[in-house]
Chain A
Protein backbone atom coordinates (compact mmCIF):
# COMPACT_ATOMS: atom_id res chain seq x y z
CA UNK A 1 0.00 0.00 0.00
CA UNK A 2 2.71 2.39 1.02
CA UNK A 3 4.84 1.43 -1.96
CA UNK A 4 2.18 2.70 -4.37
CA UNK A 5 1.95 5.94 -2.38
CA UNK A 6 5.67 6.43 -2.34
CA UNK A 7 6.16 5.49 -5.97
CA UNK A 8 4.18 8.60 -6.90
CA UNK A 9 6.35 10.93 -4.94
CA UNK A 10 9.96 10.02 -5.34
CA UNK A 11 12.55 8.32 -7.49
CA UNK A 12 15.06 5.70 -6.40
CA UNK A 13 17.29 7.77 -4.06
CA UNK A 14 20.79 8.80 -5.07
CA UNK A 15 23.71 9.27 -2.64
CA UNK A 16 22.59 12.69 -1.37
CA UNK A 17 18.97 11.61 -0.98
CA UNK A 18 20.09 8.48 0.86
CA UNK A 19 22.05 10.60 3.31
CA UNK A 20 19.07 12.90 3.81
CA UNK A 21 16.77 9.91 4.31
CA UNK A 22 19.12 8.47 6.88
CA UNK A 23 19.16 11.75 8.78
CA UNK A 24 15.36 11.86 8.60
CA UNK A 25 15.20 8.29 9.89
CA UNK A 26 17.47 9.21 12.78
CA UNK A 27 15.35 12.24 13.68
CA UNK A 28 12.22 10.10 13.40
CA UNK A 29 13.66 7.41 15.65
CA UNK A 30 14.72 10.00 18.25
CA UNK A 31 11.25 11.60 18.30
CA UNK A 32 9.49 8.22 18.52
CA UNK A 33 11.82 7.08 21.32
CA UNK A 34 11.18 10.38 23.09
CA UNK A 35 7.43 9.84 22.96
CA UNK A 36 7.85 6.21 24.02
CA UNK A 37 10.03 7.27 26.95
CA UNK A 38 7.50 9.89 28.04
CA UNK A 39 4.69 7.30 28.01
CA UNK A 40 6.89 4.74 29.79
CA UNK A 41 7.94 7.24 32.46
CA UNK A 42 4.34 8.27 33.10
CA UNK A 43 3.21 4.65 33.26
CA UNK A 44 5.87 3.60 35.70
CA UNK A 45 5.35 6.72 37.81
CA UNK A 46 1.66 5.83 38.09
CA UNK A 47 2.66 2.21 38.81
CA UNK A 48 0.95 0.89 35.70
CA UNK A 49 3.60 -1.79 35.11
CA UNK A 50 2.72 -3.58 38.36
CA UNK A 51 2.30 -7.23 37.54
CA UNK A 52 -0.88 -7.44 39.60
CA UNK A 53 -2.54 -5.09 37.13
CA UNK A 54 -1.65 -7.27 34.16
CA UNK A 55 -1.95 -10.82 35.54
CA UNK A 56 -5.79 -10.80 35.41
CA UNK A 57 -5.43 -10.98 31.62
CA UNK A 58 -3.56 -14.28 31.95
CA UNK A 59 -6.40 -15.77 33.98
CA UNK A 60 -8.79 -17.80 31.80
CA UNK A 61 -11.56 -17.09 34.29
CA UNK A 62 -11.37 -13.37 33.55
CA UNK A 63 -11.72 -14.06 29.84
CA UNK A 64 -14.56 -16.54 30.30
CA UNK A 65 -16.36 -14.52 32.94
CA UNK A 66 -16.01 -10.99 31.58
CA UNK A 67 -14.27 -10.35 28.30
CA UNK A 68 -15.84 -13.10 26.19
CA UNK A 69 -19.45 -12.50 27.34
CA UNK A 70 -18.88 -8.82 26.55
CA UNK A 71 -17.48 -9.74 23.17
CA UNK A 72 -20.56 -11.86 22.49
CA UNK A 73 -22.71 -8.86 23.44
CA UNK A 74 -20.80 -6.60 21.08
CA UNK A 75 -20.83 -9.08 18.21
CA UNK A 76 -24.51 -9.97 18.58
CA UNK A 77 -25.58 -6.31 18.65
CA UNK A 78 -23.38 -5.50 15.65
CA UNK A 79 -24.41 -8.59 13.67
CA UNK A 80 -28.15 -8.17 14.24
CA UNK A 81 -27.99 -4.48 13.36
CA UNK A 82 -26.04 -5.07 10.16
CA UNK A 83 -28.59 -7.68 9.04
CA UNK A 84 -31.51 -5.36 9.81
CA UNK A 85 -29.60 -2.45 8.28
CA UNK A 86 -29.21 -4.43 5.06
CA UNK A 87 -32.99 -4.88 4.91
CA UNK A 88 -33.55 -1.17 5.61
CA UNK A 89 -30.87 -0.25 3.11
CA UNK A 90 -32.44 -2.41 0.40
CA UNK A 91 -35.90 -0.92 0.97
CA UNK A 92 -34.81 2.72 1.07
CA UNK A 93 -32.04 2.38 -1.50
CA UNK A 94 -34.43 0.89 -4.04
CA UNK A 95 -37.03 3.44 -2.90
CA UNK A 96 -34.66 6.25 -3.86
CA UNK A 97 -34.39 4.80 -7.36
CA UNK A 98 -38.15 4.40 -7.75
CA UNK A 99 -39.92 5.90 -10.77
CA UNK A 100 -42.65 7.29 -8.51
CA UNK A 101 -41.93 10.56 -6.76
CA UNK A 102 -44.15 9.58 -3.81
CA UNK A 103 -41.78 6.71 -3.04
CA UNK A 104 -38.56 8.46 -4.03
CA UNK A 105 -39.01 11.59 -1.95
CA UNK A 106 -39.93 10.03 1.41
CA UNK A 107 -37.10 7.52 1.02
CA UNK A 108 -34.69 10.38 0.36
CA UNK A 109 -35.92 12.30 3.41
CA UNK A 110 -35.62 9.26 5.70
CA UNK A 111 -32.10 8.44 4.48
CA UNK A 112 -30.82 12.02 4.76
CA UNK A 113 -32.42 12.49 8.19
CA UNK A 114 -30.90 9.41 9.79
CA UNK A 115 -27.52 10.11 8.25
CA UNK A 116 -27.57 13.64 9.61
CA UNK A 117 -28.23 12.94 13.29
CA UNK A 118 -25.90 11.26 15.80
CA UNK A 119 -26.48 7.56 16.59
CA UNK A 120 -26.40 8.36 20.29
CA UNK A 121 -29.46 10.60 19.98
CA UNK A 122 -31.37 7.77 18.31
CA UNK A 123 -30.33 5.33 21.04
CA UNK A 124 -31.44 7.71 23.81
CA UNK A 125 -34.71 8.38 22.04
CA UNK A 126 -35.43 4.71 21.31
CA UNK A 127 -35.23 3.89 24.98
CA UNK A 128 -36.98 6.96 26.38
CA UNK A 129 -39.57 7.14 23.62
CA UNK A 130 -40.57 3.48 23.98
CA UNK A 131 -41.20 4.05 27.65
CA UNK A 132 -43.16 7.27 27.27
CA UNK A 133 -45.26 6.26 24.28
CA UNK A 134 -45.89 2.58 25.03
CA UNK A 135 -44.88 2.24 28.67
CA UNK A 136 -42.34 -0.34 27.51
CA UNK A 137 -39.03 -0.60 29.30
CA UNK A 138 -36.76 -1.26 26.36
CA UNK A 139 -33.70 -3.42 27.01
CA UNK A 140 -30.42 -1.65 26.22
CA UNK A 141 -29.73 -4.27 23.55
CA UNK A 142 -32.85 -3.30 21.58
CA UNK A 143 -32.09 0.42 21.85
CA UNK A 144 -28.53 -0.11 20.56
CA UNK A 145 -29.76 -2.28 17.69
CA UNK A 146 -32.41 0.28 16.72
CA UNK A 147 -29.91 3.14 16.70
CA UNK A 148 -27.31 1.19 14.74
CA UNK A 149 -29.91 -0.16 12.29
CA UNK A 150 -31.31 3.28 11.46
CA UNK A 151 -27.89 4.86 10.92
CA UNK A 152 -26.21 1.98 9.09
CA UNK A 153 -29.41 1.30 7.17
CA UNK A 154 -29.40 4.80 5.75
CA UNK A 155 -25.72 4.53 4.79
CA UNK A 156 -26.35 1.13 3.20
CA UNK A 157 -29.31 2.64 1.30
CA UNK A 158 -26.77 4.88 -0.42
CA UNK A 159 -24.57 1.84 -1.03
CA UNK A 160 -27.49 -0.03 -2.63
CA UNK A 161 -28.29 2.98 -4.78
CA UNK A 162 -24.67 3.32 -5.89
CA UNK A 163 -24.39 -0.43 -6.49
CA UNK A 164 -27.38 -0.50 -8.82
CA UNK A 165 -26.26 2.65 -10.60
CA UNK A 166 -22.82 1.04 -11.06
CA UNK A 167 -24.31 -1.63 -13.35
CA UNK A 168 -23.83 -0.36 -16.91
CA UNK A 169 -26.97 0.95 -18.57
CA UNK A 170 -26.64 -1.54 -21.44
CA UNK A 171 -27.48 -4.36 -19.01
CA UNK A 172 -30.95 -3.08 -18.16
CA UNK A 173 -31.56 -1.93 -21.75
CA UNK A 174 -30.75 -5.42 -22.98
CA UNK A 175 -33.03 -6.92 -20.33
CA UNK A 176 -35.92 -4.61 -21.27
CA UNK A 177 -35.43 -5.44 -24.93
CA UNK A 178 -35.74 -9.14 -24.07
CA UNK A 179 -39.19 -8.32 -22.70
CA UNK A 180 -38.47 -8.33 -18.95
CA UNK A 181 -40.54 -5.97 -16.80
CA UNK A 182 -39.21 -3.51 -14.22
CA UNK A 183 -39.33 -6.05 -11.40
CA UNK A 184 -37.69 -8.72 -13.48
CA UNK A 185 -34.89 -6.44 -14.63
CA UNK A 186 -34.22 -5.47 -11.03
CA UNK A 187 -34.43 -8.98 -9.62
CA UNK A 188 -32.68 -10.94 -12.38
CA UNK A 189 -30.21 -8.49 -13.90
CA UNK A 190 -29.44 -5.51 -11.68
CA UNK A 191 -29.49 -6.86 -8.11
CA UNK A 192 -27.26 -9.93 -8.63
CA UNK A 193 -24.57 -7.79 -10.24
CA UNK A 194 -25.02 -4.93 -7.79
CA UNK A 195 -24.68 -7.19 -4.75
CA UNK A 196 -21.29 -8.45 -5.97
CA UNK A 197 -20.19 -4.87 -6.45
CA UNK A 198 -21.50 -3.81 -3.03
CA UNK A 199 -19.87 -6.53 -0.95
CA UNK A 200 -16.69 -4.56 -0.09
CA UNK A 201 -18.71 -1.53 1.01
CA UNK A 202 -21.03 -3.69 3.11
CA UNK A 203 -18.10 -5.33 4.90
CA UNK A 204 -16.51 -1.91 5.52
CA UNK A 205 -19.79 -0.76 7.03
CA UNK A 206 -19.59 -3.73 9.41
CA UNK A 207 -16.48 -2.13 10.90
CA UNK A 208 -18.52 1.02 11.57
CA UNK A 209 -21.35 -0.99 13.17
CA UNK A 210 -18.90 -2.92 15.33
CA UNK A 211 -17.26 0.24 16.62
CA UNK A 212 -20.57 2.04 17.08
CA UNK A 213 -21.92 -0.80 19.19
CA UNK A 214 -19.54 0.51 21.88
CA UNK A 215 -22.04 3.37 22.32
CA UNK A 216 -24.07 0.78 24.22
CA UNK A 217 -21.65 1.42 27.12
CA UNK A 218 -23.39 4.76 27.66
CA UNK A 219 -26.78 3.13 28.28
CA UNK A 220 -25.13 0.27 30.23
CA UNK A 221 -25.47 -2.40 27.57
CA UNK A 222 -23.27 -5.40 28.47
CA UNK A 223 -20.85 -5.10 25.57
CA UNK A 224 -17.11 -5.61 25.37
CA UNK A 225 -16.43 -2.04 26.45
CA UNK A 226 -18.72 -2.39 29.46
CA UNK A 227 -17.40 -5.72 30.72
CA UNK A 228 -13.79 -5.03 29.81
CA UNK A 229 -13.53 -1.37 30.72
CA UNK A 230 -16.05 -0.93 33.55
CA UNK A 231 -16.50 -4.26 35.34
CA UNK A 232 -12.95 -5.52 34.93
CA UNK A 233 -11.20 -2.37 36.24
CA UNK A 234 -13.78 -2.21 39.05
CA UNK A 235 -12.54 -5.61 40.18
CA UNK A 236 -8.82 -5.25 39.60
CA UNK A 237 -8.24 -1.49 39.51
CA UNK A 238 -6.37 -1.83 36.22
CA UNK A 239 -8.02 0.78 34.04
CA UNK A 240 -5.10 1.56 31.77
CA UNK A 241 -4.06 -2.07 31.10
CA UNK A 242 -7.74 -2.90 30.48
CA UNK A 243 -8.01 -0.08 27.94
CA UNK A 244 -4.97 -1.42 26.10
CA UNK A 245 -6.18 -5.04 26.02
CA UNK A 246 -9.77 -4.13 25.07
CA UNK A 247 -8.69 -1.79 22.30
CA UNK A 248 -6.41 -4.55 20.97
CA UNK A 249 -9.43 -6.86 20.73
CA UNK A 250 -11.36 -4.20 18.79
CA UNK A 251 -8.39 -3.45 16.55
CA UNK A 252 -7.80 -7.11 15.66
CA UNK A 253 -11.50 -7.64 14.86
CA UNK A 254 -11.75 -4.52 12.74
CA UNK A 255 -8.47 -5.11 10.92
CA UNK A 256 -9.69 -8.61 10.04
CA UNK A 257 -12.92 -7.14 8.63
CA UNK A 258 -11.00 -4.48 6.71
CA UNK A 259 -8.73 -7.16 5.29
CA UNK A 260 -11.80 -9.14 4.22
CA UNK A 261 -13.25 -6.03 2.54
CA UNK A 262 -10.05 -5.45 0.59
CA UNK A 263 -9.89 -9.09 -0.48
CA UNK A 264 -13.53 -8.98 -1.60
CA UNK A 265 -12.90 -5.79 -3.54
CA UNK A 266 -9.93 -7.35 -5.31
CA UNK A 267 -12.02 -10.43 -6.11
CA UNK A 268 -14.99 -8.49 -7.36
CA UNK A 269 -12.70 -6.36 -9.54
CA UNK A 270 -11.46 -9.57 -11.18
CA UNK A 271 -14.84 -11.26 -11.23
CA UNK A 272 -16.66 -11.70 -14.52
CA UNK A 273 -19.94 -12.44 -12.81
CA UNK A 274 -20.66 -8.75 -12.56
CA UNK A 275 -20.27 -5.95 -15.08
CA UNK A 276 -20.39 -3.38 -12.28
CA UNK A 277 -17.22 -1.95 -10.76
CA UNK A 278 -16.95 -2.52 -7.01
CA UNK A 279 -18.56 0.23 -4.94
CA UNK A 280 -16.31 1.57 -2.22
CA UNK A 281 -17.81 3.02 0.92
CA UNK A 282 -15.62 6.09 0.58
CA UNK A 283 -17.04 6.85 -2.85
CA UNK A 284 -20.62 6.51 -1.62
CA UNK A 285 -20.43 8.52 1.58
CA UNK A 286 -18.00 10.94 0.02
CA UNK A 287 -15.31 10.09 2.50
CA UNK A 288 -13.82 7.60 4.85
CA UNK A 289 -16.07 5.35 6.87
CA UNK A 290 -16.10 7.49 9.97
CA UNK A 291 -18.26 5.82 12.55
CA UNK A 292 -18.62 6.91 16.10
Chain B
Protein backbone atom coordinates (compact mmCIF):
# COMPACT_ATOMS: atom_id res chain seq x y z
CA UNK B 1 0.00 0.00 0.00
CA UNK B 2 2.90 2.36 0.79
CA UNK B 3 4.18 1.92 -2.72
CA UNK B 4 0.82 3.03 -4.11
CA UNK B 5 0.73 6.14 -1.94
CA UNK B 6 4.31 7.17 -2.58
CA UNK B 7 3.79 6.72 -6.33
CA UNK B 8 0.34 8.25 -6.30
CA UNK B 9 0.99 10.78 -9.10
CA UNK B 10 2.12 8.02 -11.50
CA UNK B 11 -0.84 5.82 -10.54
CA UNK B 12 -3.32 8.62 -11.10
CA UNK B 13 -1.57 9.54 -14.36
CA UNK B 14 -1.93 5.93 -15.49
CA UNK B 15 -5.64 5.87 -14.74
CA UNK B 16 -6.10 9.29 -16.35
CA UNK B 17 -4.58 7.84 -19.54
CA UNK B 18 -6.92 4.86 -19.26
CA UNK B 19 -9.90 7.20 -18.99
CA UNK B 20 -8.76 9.36 -21.92
CA UNK B 21 -8.16 6.29 -24.09
CA UNK B 22 -11.56 4.88 -23.12
CA UNK B 23 -13.50 8.07 -23.83
CA UNK B 24 -11.79 8.87 -27.14
CA UNK B 25 -12.02 5.29 -28.41
CA UNK B 26 -15.64 5.08 -27.27
CA UNK B 27 -16.54 8.17 -29.32
CA UNK B 28 -14.63 6.98 -32.40
CA UNK B 29 -15.98 3.44 -32.24
CA UNK B 30 -19.54 4.67 -31.71
CA UNK B 31 -19.30 6.73 -34.91
CA UNK B 32 -17.57 4.00 -36.92
CA UNK B 33 -19.84 1.31 -35.45
CA UNK B 34 -22.98 3.22 -36.43
CA UNK B 35 -21.68 3.66 -39.97
CA UNK B 36 -20.88 -0.08 -40.14
CA UNK B 37 -24.32 -1.02 -38.77
CA UNK B 38 -25.96 1.21 -41.41
CA UNK B 39 -23.87 -0.53 -44.06
CA UNK B 40 -24.85 -3.96 -42.78
CA UNK B 41 -28.58 -3.23 -43.06
CA UNK B 42 -28.30 -1.20 -46.29
CA UNK B 43 -30.24 -2.31 -49.36
CA UNK B 44 -27.04 -2.63 -51.43
CA UNK B 45 -25.26 -6.00 -51.35
CA UNK B 46 -21.83 -4.39 -51.87
CA UNK B 47 -22.09 -2.26 -48.73
CA UNK B 48 -23.55 -5.17 -46.77
CA UNK B 49 -20.71 -7.41 -47.90
CA UNK B 50 -18.04 -4.85 -47.01
CA UNK B 51 -19.58 -4.32 -43.57
CA UNK B 52 -19.82 -8.06 -42.91
CA UNK B 53 -16.22 -8.56 -44.01
CA UNK B 54 -14.94 -5.84 -41.69
CA UNK B 55 -16.93 -7.04 -38.68
CA UNK B 56 -15.99 -10.70 -39.11
CA UNK B 57 -12.32 -9.86 -39.60
CA UNK B 58 -11.94 -7.49 -36.65
CA UNK B 59 -14.20 -9.33 -34.23
CA UNK B 60 -12.31 -12.57 -34.62
CA UNK B 61 -8.79 -11.17 -34.43
CA UNK B 62 -7.23 -10.80 -30.97
CA UNK B 63 -7.00 -7.17 -29.86
CA UNK B 64 -3.34 -7.77 -29.06
CA UNK B 65 -2.69 -8.48 -32.75
CA UNK B 66 -4.73 -5.46 -33.86
CA UNK B 67 -2.78 -3.10 -31.61
CA UNK B 68 0.57 -4.67 -32.50
CA UNK B 69 -0.27 -4.30 -36.18
CA UNK B 70 -1.07 -0.63 -35.64
CA UNK B 71 2.15 0.17 -33.86
CA UNK B 72 4.59 -2.15 -35.67
CA UNK B 73 2.90 -2.65 -39.04
CA UNK B 74 1.28 0.65 -39.89
CA UNK B 75 3.67 2.92 -38.04
CA UNK B 76 7.05 1.22 -38.51
CA UNK B 77 6.72 -0.72 -41.76
CA UNK B 78 4.18 1.25 -43.79
CA UNK B 79 5.47 4.56 -42.38
CA UNK B 80 2.03 6.05 -41.85
CA UNK B 81 2.07 8.25 -38.76
CA UNK B 82 -0.22 10.66 -37.01
CA UNK B 83 2.37 12.89 -35.46
CA UNK B 84 6.12 13.34 -35.18
CA UNK B 85 5.98 13.34 -31.42
CA UNK B 86 6.25 9.71 -30.24
CA UNK B 87 3.84 9.91 -27.30
CA UNK B 88 1.11 11.63 -29.35
CA UNK B 89 1.68 9.14 -32.15
CA UNK B 90 1.39 6.21 -29.71
CA UNK B 91 -1.77 7.71 -28.25
CA UNK B 92 -3.51 8.00 -31.63
CA UNK B 93 -2.39 4.55 -32.75
CA UNK B 94 -3.78 3.12 -29.51
CA UNK B 95 -7.07 4.87 -30.22
CA UNK B 96 -7.02 3.67 -33.84
CA UNK B 97 -6.52 0.04 -32.78
CA UNK B 98 -9.05 0.15 -29.94
CA UNK B 99 -11.68 1.87 -32.11
CA UNK B 100 -11.11 -0.43 -35.09
CA UNK B 101 -11.66 -3.43 -32.80
CA UNK B 102 -14.49 -2.04 -30.66
CA UNK B 103 -16.48 -0.64 -33.58
CA UNK B 104 -17.10 -4.20 -34.80
CA UNK B 105 -18.81 -4.95 -31.50
CA UNK B 106 -20.70 -1.64 -31.51
CA UNK B 107 -21.93 -2.49 -35.02
CA UNK B 108 -23.17 -5.90 -33.90
CA UNK B 109 -24.89 -4.41 -30.84
CA UNK B 110 -26.73 -1.82 -32.96
CA UNK B 111 -27.58 -4.34 -35.67
CA UNK B 112 -29.02 -6.79 -33.16
CA UNK B 113 -31.00 -3.86 -31.74
CA UNK B 114 -32.47 -3.17 -35.19
CA UNK B 115 -33.25 -6.87 -35.61
CA UNK B 116 -35.24 -7.03 -32.38
CA UNK B 117 -37.73 -4.41 -33.60
CA UNK B 118 -40.81 -6.44 -34.55
CA UNK B 119 -41.37 -6.84 -38.29
CA UNK B 120 -44.90 -5.45 -37.93
CA UNK B 121 -43.50 -2.04 -36.96
CA UNK B 122 -41.63 -1.65 -40.23
CA UNK B 123 -44.50 -3.09 -42.23
CA UNK B 124 -46.90 -0.63 -40.59
CA UNK B 125 -44.48 2.23 -41.32
CA UNK B 126 -44.32 1.24 -44.99
CA UNK B 127 -48.08 0.76 -45.12
CA UNK B 128 -48.71 4.36 -44.05
CA UNK B 129 -46.36 5.46 -46.83
CA UNK B 130 -43.15 6.32 -44.99
CA UNK B 131 -40.00 6.08 -47.07
CA UNK B 132 -36.96 3.99 -46.07
CA UNK B 133 -35.23 6.88 -44.30
CA UNK B 134 -38.44 8.09 -42.67
CA UNK B 135 -39.30 4.68 -41.29
CA UNK B 136 -35.72 4.26 -40.11
CA UNK B 137 -35.68 7.68 -38.41
CA UNK B 138 -39.19 7.75 -36.95
CA UNK B 139 -40.06 4.12 -36.27
CA UNK B 140 -37.12 1.73 -36.24
CA UNK B 141 -34.17 3.61 -34.76
CA UNK B 142 -36.00 5.17 -31.75
CA UNK B 143 -37.03 1.66 -30.71
CA UNK B 144 -33.73 0.08 -31.65
CA UNK B 145 -31.64 2.58 -29.67
CA UNK B 146 -33.56 1.83 -26.47
CA UNK B 147 -32.72 -1.85 -26.84
CA UNK B 148 -29.12 -1.11 -27.69
CA UNK B 149 -28.33 0.85 -24.52
CA UNK B 150 -27.65 -2.25 -22.38
CA UNK B 151 -25.37 -4.02 -24.89
CA UNK B 152 -23.51 -0.77 -25.65
CA UNK B 153 -22.91 -0.36 -21.92
CA UNK B 154 -21.16 -3.70 -21.72
CA UNK B 155 -19.14 -2.89 -24.84
CA UNK B 156 -18.00 0.26 -23.01
CA UNK B 157 -17.05 -1.75 -19.90
CA UNK B 158 -15.11 -4.20 -22.07
CA UNK B 159 -13.40 -1.27 -23.82
CA UNK B 160 -12.30 0.17 -20.46
CA UNK B 161 -10.68 -3.15 -19.58
CA UNK B 162 -9.27 -3.57 -23.09
CA UNK B 163 -7.31 -0.32 -22.84
CA UNK B 164 -4.76 -2.31 -20.78
CA UNK B 165 -3.72 -4.19 -23.94
CA UNK B 166 -2.37 -0.87 -25.28
CA UNK B 167 0.76 -1.87 -23.32
CA UNK B 168 1.92 -3.66 -26.51
CA UNK B 169 1.82 -0.37 -28.41
CA UNK B 170 4.10 1.15 -25.80
CA UNK B 171 1.66 3.73 -24.51
CA UNK B 172 1.67 4.37 -20.76
CA UNK B 173 -1.61 3.60 -19.02
CA UNK B 174 -2.69 1.90 -15.79
CA UNK B 175 -1.51 -1.65 -16.60
CA UNK B 176 1.85 -0.31 -17.76
CA UNK B 177 2.29 1.65 -14.51
CA UNK B 178 1.32 -1.42 -12.48
CA UNK B 179 3.81 -3.60 -14.34
CA UNK B 180 6.57 -1.01 -13.83
CA UNK B 181 5.86 -0.75 -10.10
CA UNK B 182 5.87 -4.53 -9.69
CA UNK B 183 9.07 -4.71 -11.69
CA UNK B 184 10.74 -2.13 -9.44
CA UNK B 185 10.04 -4.53 -6.58
CA UNK B 186 7.77 -2.37 -4.49
CA UNK B 187 5.44 -5.27 -3.60
CA UNK B 188 2.79 -7.08 -5.61
CA UNK B 189 -0.36 -7.87 -3.63
CA UNK B 190 -1.01 -4.32 -2.46
CA UNK B 191 -0.26 -2.88 -5.88
CA UNK B 192 -2.48 -5.42 -7.64
CA UNK B 193 -5.38 -4.80 -5.24
CA UNK B 194 -4.96 -1.04 -5.66
CA UNK B 195 -5.05 -1.18 -9.46
CA UNK B 196 -7.85 -3.75 -9.40
CA UNK B 197 -9.83 -1.40 -7.17
CA UNK B 198 -9.19 1.40 -9.67
CA UNK B 199 -10.69 -0.69 -12.46
CA UNK B 200 -13.60 -1.78 -10.27
CA UNK B 201 -14.31 1.91 -9.61
CA UNK B 202 -14.21 2.61 -13.36
CA UNK B 203 -16.19 -0.38 -14.62
CA UNK B 204 -18.76 -1.33 -11.97
CA UNK B 205 -20.62 2.02 -11.83
CA UNK B 206 -20.58 2.19 -15.66
CA UNK B 207 -22.14 -1.28 -15.78
CA UNK B 208 -24.76 -0.45 -13.14
CA UNK B 209 -25.61 2.88 -14.80
CA UNK B 210 -26.19 1.28 -18.20
CA UNK B 211 -28.25 -1.56 -16.70
CA UNK B 212 -30.38 1.03 -14.92
CA UNK B 213 -30.70 3.15 -18.06
CA UNK B 214 -31.61 0.14 -20.20
CA UNK B 215 -34.35 -0.85 -17.74
CA UNK B 216 -35.65 2.71 -17.61
CA UNK B 217 -35.74 3.10 -21.38
CA UNK B 218 -37.13 -0.38 -22.06
CA UNK B 219 -40.32 -0.36 -24.08
CA UNK B 220 -43.10 -2.75 -23.12
CA UNK B 221 -43.59 -5.43 -25.72
- Partner-B contacts on A (CB < 8 A): 2, 4-11, 13, 17, 21, 24-25, 28-29, 32, 42-43, 46, 48, 112-113, 116-121, 124-125, 128-129, 131-133, 207, 211-215, 217-218, 225, 229, 239-240, 243, 246-247, 250-251, 253-255, 258, 282, 285-288, 290-292
B64 touches A214 (CB 8 A): yes
B155 touches A125 (CB 8 A): no
The listed residue with most B CB atoms (<10 A of its CB), out of A25, A251, A288, A291, is A288
B140 touches A116 (CB 8 A): no
CA distance in complex: A255, B175 (Å)? 30
B45 touches A25 (CB 8 A): yes
Interface CB pairs A-B, < 8 A, 10: A17-B132, A120-B175, A125-B192, A129-B192, A215-B165, A240-B69, A247-B65, A254-B60, A255-B60, A292-B164
CA distance in complex: A258, B159 (Å)? 21
- Take A5-B114, A116-B204, A121-B196 as given contacts and tell me if A286 and B151 are in contact as well, using a CB distance cutoff of 8 Å: yes
How far, in Å, is B65 (CB) from chain A's closest CB?
6
Tally of contacts, chain A with chain B, CB under 8 A: 215
Chain A residues closer than 8 Å to B40, beta-carbon distance: 2, 5
A292 touches B165 (CB 8 A): yes
The listed residue with most B CB atoms (<10 A of its CB), out of A9, A46, A121, is A9
How far, in Å, is B168 (CB) from chain A's closest CB?
6
Q: Which of B44, B57, B105, B179 touches A25 (beta carbons < 8 Å)?
A: B44
A229 touches B151 (CB 8 A): no
Q: Which of B102, B108, B204 touches A112 (beta carbons < 8 Å)?
A: B204
A4 touches B47 (CB 8 A): no
How far, in Å, is B16 (CB) from chain A's closest CB?
16
Tell me the count of chain B residues lying within 8 A, CB to CB, of chain A: 79
B196 touches A113 (CB 8 A): yes
- Partner-A contacts on B (CB < 8 A): 40-48, 50, 52, 56-57, 59-65, 68-69, 72-73, 76-80, 102, 105, 108-109, 111-112, 114-115, 117, 119, 121-122, 126, 132, 135-136, 140, 150-155, 157-159, 161-162, 164-165, 167-168, 175, 178-179, 182, 187-189, 192, 195-196, 199-200, 203-204, 207, 210-211, 214
A212 touches B62 (CB 8 A): yes
- Take A6-B43, A125-B192, A212-B62 as given contacts and tell me if A287 and B109 are in contact as well, using a CB distance cutoff of 8 Å: yes
A287 touches B69 (CB 8 A): no
CA distance in complex: A286, B148 (Å)? 10
B175 touches A250 (CB 8 A): no
B60 touches A250 (CB 8 A): yes
- Take A250-B62, A286-B211 as given contacts and tell me if A11 and B126 are in contact as well, using a CB distance cutoff of 8 Å: yes
Chain B residues closer than 8 Å to A7, beta-carbon distance: 119
B56 touches A117 (CB 8 A): no
A121 touches B211 (CB 8 A): no
Q: Which of A9, A28, A128 touches B50 (beta carbons < 8 Å)?
A: A28
Chain B residues closer than 8 Å to A132, beta-carbon distance: 187-189
- Take A24-B44, A211-B63 as given contacts and tell me if A9 and B135 are in contact as well, using a CB distance cutoff of 8 Å: yes
